[in-house]
Amino acid sequence: MRQGDFKLAEGCLRRLASIAQKKAGRDLARLPGAGGAGGLGFGLAAFLGARLEPGFERFGRHAALARHLRWADLVVTGEGTIDDSTLMGKGVGQIAQRCLDLSIPCVGLTGTIGASASKLCGFTQTHALTRLTTVEQAKARPAYWLERLAQRVAQGWSSSS
């Protein structure tokens, strides 16, 4: 994607949202769940009349997350990039927030950490593959680097506990 393509696409999507708002009589783009998965929720609500439900809530019920968290002493979760968007409804951000609410330590393993990682208060710790290697190497051999990162984190965790 070229630099100007993102701005063009964003403008087109704003126009589409405006047209859908006029048709529906309400702002569907602001509904919870409308923006995730590339705007799939918005499209389904605007053009097919779908009822949106936050995906993480459904997942949490299906996976009995609350029950599993009750017996957890530590939660380790992962995401390609941990940044501001992590706390905007993504699963790992939701899990980290639930851990914070329950006073359970939550470690986030990630490929990269965004500049605003200090705002990610739900995580006890965050660790990125890029602390061990380059982004290119991490993408080329993610399992290899994740294993090494997890080992390093576990060694540090056991010595600090």
The structural domains of the chain, ordered by start, are: 3-52 (no CATH), 66-160 (3.40.50)
The CB-based long-range contact list for 43-47 (8 Å cut-off, 24+ gap) reads 46/20, 47/20
- Quick one: pLDDT band at residue 3, thresholds 50, 70, 90? low
pLDDT the model gives residue 154: 92
Give pLDDT tens digits for 109-148.
Answer: 999 988 665 566 789 999 999 999 999 999 999 999 999 9
Instruction: Look at residue 54 and tell me whether its pLDDT is greater than 80.
Output: no
Q: Are 126 and 110 in contact (CB under 8 A)?
A: yes
| Total-model pTM | 0.70
| CA-based nearest residue to 83, from 54, 53, 126, 116 | 116
- pLDDT tens digit string along 61-107? 999 999 999 999 999 999 998 887 787 778 899 999 999 999 999 99
Strand 75-82 with 125-128, pairing: unpaired
